[in-house]
Amino acid sequence: MKERGIITEKLVEYMCFKSHYESAASKEDIPTNEFMERVPPEIVLELFVFSLPPRCAES
């Protein structure tokens, strides 16, 4: 399964963002808008679908 480079890049960027703010004292300290501004609207659905767990093959 080939994935578009931008999708992989944004997933890695999100993982870095999450790791950086994991120890934030409260959710108010996390600048979620900053991250969302870096995600182009045309790839949001694709990112969501890619983040879902894979389905098991039906027998």
Full-prediction pTM beyond 0.75? no
Check the CA dihedral 7-31-20-51 and report its sign.
Answer: negative
Q: Residue 3: which pLDDT band, with cuts at 50, 70 and 90?
A: low
- The 10 Å Cβ neighbour count of residue 46 is 14
Encode pLDDT of 15-44 as tens digits.
Answer: 898 888 888 778 777 888 888 888 888 888
Q: What's the Cα-to-Cα distance from 38 to each of 13, 30, 43, rounded to whole Å?
A: 10, 15, 11
Determine the Cα–Cα distance for residues 18 and 24; give it in Å rounded to an integer.
Answer: 10
Residue in 46, 44, 39 with CA at minimum distance from that of residue 4: 46
